[in-house]
Amino acid sequence: MGTFARRALASAVFWGIMAGFSSLALSGRQEETSESVKNMFALLEVYTSRPFLPSSAMPDHLWMETGKGRVVFLHFDKPVADPSARVIFAGDGISGRFCAEDQPEGGTTGFVHFHRAQTPHLEISHGGRAGEEGYWLRHVAVAEFDMMDTHFTMGTAMNFMPTIPPRCGAS
């Protein structure tokens, strides 16, 4: 299995190990973190879905559908094809409409960023028209860093490019 597929498939199991990575990173126990990574890759053979780039304008993202209207993703600091690319966010997404009524828990659990499902070539797809289909995303920073004039710390990034949805009413 190639690096591209391994990176994408690894995202399917990241929630199970994120808490471990966070506590290990904070404790400084690098040998345990390395062992966790090895164990994670051992799980990859059970996944059959394939990773995809959500938009041609987002070469630094890998998404994978996990079923029932959900995705998991990795967000890198540079295009995925670059061997020096590092994961800066891991996350998950729930399908829905760009409507306040569809935003999971009103964004209180971190689903603050919306991506359209259908994105024209070279469009990034943040937000959308009222009622447009897509995914509500929750980004989890895997380290402390600055990006887009914003400081992120390890954990759920409540401040990652929030897209404020309109009220759509009943449909």
Question: What is the per-residue DSSP string for 75-126?
Answer: EESS-TTSTT--EEEEEEEEEEESSGGGSGGGGTTSEEEEEESS--TT---B
Domain ranges across the chain: 50-156
Pairing of the two strands 155-156 and 87-97: unpaired
Q: What is the pLDDT of residue 121?
A: 58
Report the distance separating Cα 2 and Cα 122, nearest Å: 26
Q: CA nearest 111: which of 165, 59, 148, 153?
A: 165
Q: Which pLDDT score is estimated for 169? A: 84
Which regions of the chain are under pLDDT 70? 1-57, 119-124, 170-171
